[in-house]
Chain A
Amino acid sequence: EIVMTQSPAILSASPGDRVTLSCRASQSVSSSLAWYQQKPGQAPRLLIYGASTRATGIPARFSGSGSGTEFTLTISSLQSEDYAVYYCQQYIEGPKTFGQGTKVEIK
């Protein structure tokens, strides 16, 4: 089973900040990496798939990069509605494992 590790666990940032979240896979997942956003009391929402392709309706301030084992999700200018938990997920093989999440909170 591929283990996904996200860092940091909690990220404190102010509106307007540029923030970068990291996700590492225990073995190569090529570009088979997705990012999800989850707000309190809501279901996860797909943000990014294929490591860098934004899902339908996702604002351009969200961008993904990386391949192999190292990935990043960048929010170019943090908005109030972006405070949430972000999960990465690999889908190259076997169980579609998730990272443990990064919580983006207000500084």
Chain B
Amino acid sequence: EVQLVESGGGLVQPGGSLRLSCAASGFTFAGYWMRWVRQAPGKGLEWVLRINNDGSSTAYADSVKGRFTISRDNAKNTLYLQMNSLRVEDTAVYYCAREFNGYFDSWGQGTLVTVSS
């Protein structure tokens, strides 16, 4: 069974940093592109970062470019999201998702990041 389990969320002040992790199991992690998708409270879905299967290629939404970094450790079956210079508008549930042929076929349960003073 495919499992994606996020961790690392919490309350952080504006300008602060946070690192999220997504532990993958039940599939060959190194064979898949992965995404971080976020959802602000009461809002829709927004993909924010993408990484290819070996970590050599990444893509970022304009809203997080220069502040967020996606990475992965295929030996540990783990996806990461380093968030710096956090803003109030980054408050959201952050989901990791597995990408297959362009769509997202498996999702984690999400971790809440709250940016507030």
Which residues of chain A have a CB within 8 Å of any CB of chain B? 32, 34, 36, 42-46, 49, 55, 87, 89, 91-92, 95-101
Contact = CB atoms under 8 A, between A and B. Distances in A.
Contact of A87 (B45, B95, B106): B45
Contacts, number: 49
Interface residues of B, number: 17
B8 to A, nearest CB: 16
A44 B107 contact: yes
Contacts of A98: 44-47
Contacts of A44: 45, 95, 104, 107
Interface in B13-56: 35, 44-47
B104 A46 contact: yes
11 contacts: A36-B45, A43-B95, A43-B107, A46-B103, A46-B104, A46-B106, A87-B45, A91-B102, A98-B44, A98-B46, A98-B47
A89 B107 contact: no
Given A96-B47, A99-B44, A49 B61 contact: no
